Chain A
Amino acid sequence: MLALTVANFKMMVRNRQTTFWALFFPLILVVAFGLFDFTSPDVSRVAIAGDTQTPFSSQLAEQVQGIEILELEEPPPGVEEGRALIVEGDLDFLVVIPPGYGESLPAVSPGSGLSRQAPVKLISGGESEERVRLVEGIIRPMTDAAVLGETSAEQPETLLGERVETREAPYFDIVLMGLVGMGIMTHSIISIAVRISNYRNLSILKRMLVTPLAIWKFFAAEVTAQLLLAVIQAVVILAVGVAVFGARIDGNVLNLLPVVILGSLVFLNIGFIVSAWANSPAAASGLGNVISFPMMFFAGTFFSTSTLPWLLPYGAEALPLAPMITALREIGLHGATLWDVWPQLAWLAGWVAATAAAAVKVFRFS
């Protein structure tokens, strides 16, 4: 069986088409997504917190609403709540206004010379430098104007920028995990479907049956070689994403392995089913694409499925690619353990069992 696994692997590597679909196609997408800058969406979400009762704050709110690229989030959150929103990636900027900003200052404490108004804070998360400077540029004239009337001495700093670490990974990192799932899915389904269909056309399956080889070993070797390739695929795609485009992987990379293997198994089973339906390798390839392409979009490789209308998000979540990608993202981007993603793993295992049963039922040797 080892000999057969090695032979299978050799054949796959020598088949240039296989290599293309397994590695270069997902890599092309990695490069494409890496080159586009998805980090500046058109509109930044801004919230005002702190002392929101002053005339200054309502003036600021009015100003923000008047600017096209800014969107004011209402009602104003508490400071801590706003921070949390930024960390989660649900808010881009939080403006914290100190108490009584822009109003007459309390009595100047003796000896200090000048009274200092505490500055306004601008808290931002994962937004680009340019965007942060842009927003600062919009707000600073207002904060300056609000205090200038009061203190005529040297200009104090009226706006203080602060960056917080966001939990939300950059879009590229999210897509990268999606591409790992997509690459493995496309390749597993199409490669096995075409290979088996080809074997059947060439009577290779029959030829195996007339040898004393137990036929389960033939399929086990086939699957083992494919799984090996799936792991290599994942490693190469992630390596390019990290090394070339600076993606960050927070979680334990080894935890990704069971997800990759379970996912690949589901898609290999689907490939076996496709090969049973298709009468030629070309038909198998077409049918494989018909199955994998919609899944690639619906299961959230590129976009969140929650934006789908009606019941579709639930349907999309049920597809085997969705839990695979979710688990990859949870582990890779948020450092989840295998235990944390058990619902996804269980769902995948269910798919493995169901598709295996179906594959055994529909499979034909000739």
Chain B
Amino acid sequence: MSEAIRVEGLVKRYGSFTALEGVSFGVEEGEIFGILGPNGAGKTTTLEIIEGLQRPSEGRVTVLGNDVLKEAKKIKARIGVQLQSSAYFNYLSLLEILRLLGSFYPHSMQPEELLEVVGLSDKGKNRVDQLSIGQRQRFTVAASLVNDPELVILDEPTTGLDPQARRNLWDLIREIHSRKVTVVLTSHYMEEAEALCQRLAIMDHGRIVAIDSPDRLIDRIETTYTVKLVTADPLTSDQQHLLAKSATLQKSEGGSDSAADESGSYVLRLNKTPEALNATIDRIVRSGITLKHLEILPATLEDVFLDLTGNELRD
């Protein structure tokens, strides 16, 4: 399998601020590749360099076998791009916008067919501002497909969508992928990357901190179990001390509902060994805590991110 994108030693500086500090990765043809990271990690900058919107300070980018700096026009004809929070012309109907965008390419798809792919067939005569946010987002994906591209780049396609609309969009992305189109997307939703991506690059502060399949990334980390507990009363310092012996303990902020003023909500992260798990459960029982709720969860990408960067993903 050959590579759809090759990024080598990418550096981007804005004055004294360095947005990208040496980013390298490859995207294989036909895969869904995700770039995951918090806001400001450098995801959009990376994509914009790949799309030819920005010039790198250092490094080399090849897209579909062409150098982005030398053959930008060739590349643009073969890729589809959905920009972050991009809307479209206000006073044109969806069909008119797709027809107009299509006219910029040597080869383009039928607007009606595109709307059918994204499930907006009956909205062809509507304008963008008459669509719901979810429909709008699906439309921008349709617009990125107007030239029947070999590679589609989606920048945070599901940001701001409700769960149902997000799932619809996931189905759409899988549908595009099933047509042998390479998909690159950015996200700051872990479950999205887990659900969609075959491979994943985790970015933080302008660097790639890990790159692998979601499963293997999760496997790699040590803190596999997350124990969430809600107690009737806040833990005493003795109790906290006890629990912290076999795990890291955190008071969780948003976890409890506001009615439980007197209670405490905590998250324990512990090693993936059965011993650690047994010891922790044992300590919870011995400490005499009155439990209101207890959950033991496997690690998620959320934990991977925390493990790799020491930061929560959603800040």
Contact = CB atoms under 8 A, between A and B. Distances in A.
Interface size class of A (residues with CB under 8 A): 20 to 34
Contact of B104 (A11, A15, A204, A211): A211
Contacts of B89: 7, 11, 204
Given A10-B96, A203-B86, A210 B91 contact: no
Interface string A1-39: 001100100111011000000000000000000000000
B76 interface: yes
Interface stretch (B77-85, B222-230, B242-250): B77-85
A170 B91 CA distance: 42
A4 B53 contact: no
B51 A204 contact: no
B86 A10 contact: no
B92 interface: yes
Interface size class of B (residues with CB under 8 A): 20 to 34
Given A7-B89, A11-B90, A206 B83 contact: yes
Interface in B119-144: none
Contact of B88 (A10, A14, A207, A213): A207
Nearest to B73: A212
A209 interface: yes
A interface SS class: helix
Given A11-B90, A203-B83, A210 B51 contact: yes
Given A3-B100, A212-B104, A10 B87 contact: no
B52 interface: yes
Contacts of A3: 99-100, 103
Contacts of A210: 51-53, 76, 79, 81, 83
Interface in B41-86: 51-53, 73, 76-77, 79, 81, 83-86
B207 to A, nearest CB: 24
Specify which of B52, B83, B88, B104 lies most central, judged by the most chain A CB atoms within 10 Å of its CB: B104
A305 interface: no
Nearest to A210: B81
Contacts of B232: none
A15 B83 contact: no
A202 B89 CA distance: 8
A83 B164 CA distance: 86
Interface of B: 51-53, 73, 76-77, 79, 81, 83-92, 96, 99-101, 103-106, 147
Interface of A: 3-4, 7, 10-12, 14-15, 198, 202-204, 206-213
12 contacts: A4-B100, A4-B103, A202-B90, A206-B53, A207-B81, A209-B53, A210-B52, A210-B76, A211-B76, A211-B105, A211-B147, A212-B73
The 7 A-B residue pairs with the shortest CB-CB distance in the complex, in nearest-first order: A11-B91, A213-B104, A14-B91, A3-B103, A203-B86, A210-B81, A202-B87
